[in-house]
Amino acid sequence: MKHLFGSRNFLIVLFGTLAVLPIFANQYTLFVSNLVMMYIILALGLNLLIGYAGQLAFANAAMFGIGAYGCGLLQVKLGMPFFVAAPGGAVIAMAVGTLMAFPALRLSGIYLALATLAFAQATQWAMLHWEAVTFGAGGFALEPLDFSPLPVSSAIGTFYMTWAVSLGLLLFASFAMRSRIGRAFVAMRDGEIAAEALGIDLLKYKAMAFAISGFYAGAAGALFVPILDFVSPESFDLFQMILHKSMVVVGGLGSIMGSVIGATLLVFLLEVLRDFKSTQEIAFGALLLGFVLFQPKGVVTFIRRWVPGWNEPLHYTDGTKQTKQAASTDEPVATEASEERT
Amino acid sequence: MMMFSYLTATGITTGALYALVALGIVVVYKATEVVNLAHGDLFMIGGFFAYTLHVMWGIPYIPSLLLAVAGSFLVGIVTDRIAYRPLMSQGLVSVLLATIGFSFMLKGIARIVWGGKGDYLPFPPLVAPEPIQFGGIMILSQHLVVVAGAVLVMICFAVFFKTTRAGKWMQATADNPKAATLVGIRVSRVYMYTFGVGAAAAGAAAVLMAPLTLLYPDIGFTLFIKGFAAAALGGLGSIPGAILGGFLVGLIEQFAGGYIDTSVQDVSAFVVIMFAMVFLPNGLLGLRGVRKV
């Protein structure tokens, strides 16, 4: 009984339901489920970077865009088939993400946040103005994906591909965070100098955090191409940034299950508010602000408290024992991520 | 020569406004060690306040400028109350996430109140648009008014920090919050006023800029990036640096737009930020900081 409601069973139910969904779902439901799985990947990638490795970067939406553009343009400009172009897009995003780790070694906290924000805006600019390569503001359309040797339609094939990729990346993230990598990330989050003193190579693990995060966002971007069959710059604007941020924060920073739950809940909210741009901005802004203020460890804290079998290692503590630190001039570097870990 | 002088004049004008935005960012950063990511949206709200007062209600320009600045001051205080004060003990990540959430709320509210995406509200020009000749150099009188206004606001700031009690409290708090508490300054209240003053600078910049450009809900982030580029170039934490950086970013942007390609104008601020972050982490006039453990 204890483990009946555990996180593993929750995942089995969620992905089991998704697996049989195409039998009775209509096209809109399939589309929304695709989005849910894609945003799970995005939220996981961002959570590995912010929640585990403690690097507050704002370039996730840009990596998402780079993955999508990489996948789309490799097909349109170089004529590659999708199954080559999609991993290509993800790897390009991963490479760009890794490059971003080098400034991250010198910059911390606020500088890193704003350098990555500037990078994200520069990427957006390149998508809009580098028309020779990116087709500019209008974007470009692609043929629906063809699964011709297999007897499935394009929509069903895309759905199962997204299902398999998101499940794979979810399991990878879950295992990686339980391994040496995850423990190194958390040590880095809780204190870089302490981590270095324990023999954790900061260069290696920061680069790894940015690379994995970039790969996740890029993979989500590559999956986004067959979901919409259309790529345009406005899919990767600032609003995406706050969307990913609020998914991670609502679910719970430093929690794999939190990202799954946060992404699922917020995609539904996004769909409810689809036609109201201003309401979306207010709703997601307020959610982010509200959770940071009142429930900074996300909804998984409630679940952990009330569901006995729900346990997850390396998440933040419940917030009962926090080192209080005023943002004073005495400890400018140590202001971030000072919570103790479980 | 014609083009050069025109670009210089425009660069100095926009640069003066960026300097004001950067001033607000730096004032808040010096006191709290946090960059208010909603700063650009405070700018945007200030501009819309002025639009409501001046264009919709017909109040003359100077009173509507003062009222809009007062309005931005209040929104700045609200920012402190809901996004900084409850979180200052929680560390940087929480504050940054909270201010970015707040900035999107402001943007959404502005979109509801002042029109949807794609609605660009025009603001009437202040003075006749005829250019003035200065020995072969043409300058738009509009630009002169804006630069004069911006310089006036900067002087007001300098006077405020040098002479008033509140200004001295802010300097003391920025210098050493613990010592400031010991001599009886209510540090958390000073933080609140600091956010208000930073927002007021942004509001003043917005009201001065409004007649030169159009107002739209997404303008905030653009101006935030430019103001931050100016602050980072000058040295985040140095007020003279912010002003110098503002003028430099304005000029770089105009020259890049004029001599390379107009689309490059938009990206130059990002390039400046990334360059400043990587090669000049202390900025041009910033103090050489020691990284503390």
- Could you give the ipTM of this predicted complex? 0.85
d(CA A240, CA A47) in angstroms, rounded, equals 15
The total of other beta-carbon atoms located within 10 Å of residue B116's CB is 12
- Selected residue with higher pLDDT from B6 and A219: A219
**A202-217: pLDDT as tens digits:** 888 989 999 999 999 9
- Phi, psi for residue A231 in degrees, rounded to 5: -125, 125
The strand pair at A230-231 and B131-134 is best described as unpaired
pLDDT tens for residues A231-286? 888 888 888 989 999 999 998 888 888 899 999 999 999 888 887 878 888 999 99
The shortest CB-CB distance from A285 to any of B102, B263, B291 is to: B102
Buried b (16+ CB within 10 A) or exposed e, B126-161: beeeeeeeeeeeebbebbebbbebbeebbeebeeeb
Q: For B117, which of A54, A277, A286 is closest by C-beta distance?
A: A277
Strand partners, B140: B131
Measure the CA–CA gap between A48 and A332, rounded to whole angstroms.
Answer: 24
Closest CB from B88, B91, B229 relative to A337: B91
Chains A and B form CB pairs within 8 A to the count of 174
User: Per-residue confidence at A341, pLDDT binned at 50, 70, 90?
Assistant: very low
In the prediction, which pLDDT does B119 show? 65
Question: Does A281 sit within 8 Å of B111, measured CB to CB?
Answer: yes
More confident residue, B254 or B236: B254
Quick one: CA dihedral B225, B226, B231, B234, positive or negative?
positive
Residue A332: count other Cβ atoms within 10 Å of its Cβ.
Answer: 17
Does the structure show a pLDDT above 50 at A89? yes
What separation in angstroms does the CA of B268 have from each of A118, B222, B226? 10, 12, 9
Distance of alpha carbon A289 from alpha carbon B170, whole angstroms: 27
For residues A128 and A137, the answer to whether their CB atoms sit within 8 Å is yes
Tokens of A293: 């203020």
List of chain A residues whose C-beta atoms are within 8 Å of the C-beta of residue B271: 122
Output phi, psi for A80, to 5 deg: -75, 150
- Report the predicted TM-score, pTM, of the whole model to 2 decimal places: 0.86
Whether pLDDT at A110 is above 70: yes
* Separation of alpha carbons B49 and B69, rounded Å: 9
The answer to whether residue B189 scores a pLDDT higher than 80 is yes
Of residues A85 and A336, more confidence is placed in A85
Kindly give, in sequence order, each residue whose CB lies less than 8 Å from that of residue B27, ignoring residues fewer than 6 positions away: B170, B194, B197, B198, B201, B239
- Averaged pLDDT score across all residues of chain B: 85
Domain spanning A7-306: CATH 1.10.3470: yes
Domain ranges, ordered by start, for chain A: 7-306
Confidence category of residue B288, pLDDT binned at 50, 70, 90: low
Return the closest-CA partner of residue A273 out of A285, A290, A261: A285
- The answer for B 9-38 residues in CB contact with A (under 8 A) is 29, 32-35
- Looking at residue A42, its pLDDT comes to 94
Contacts of B116 in chain A (CB under 8 A): 277-278
Question: What amino acid is encoded at B9 in this protein?
Answer: A
User: Average pLDDT over chain A, rounded to whole?
Assistant: 82
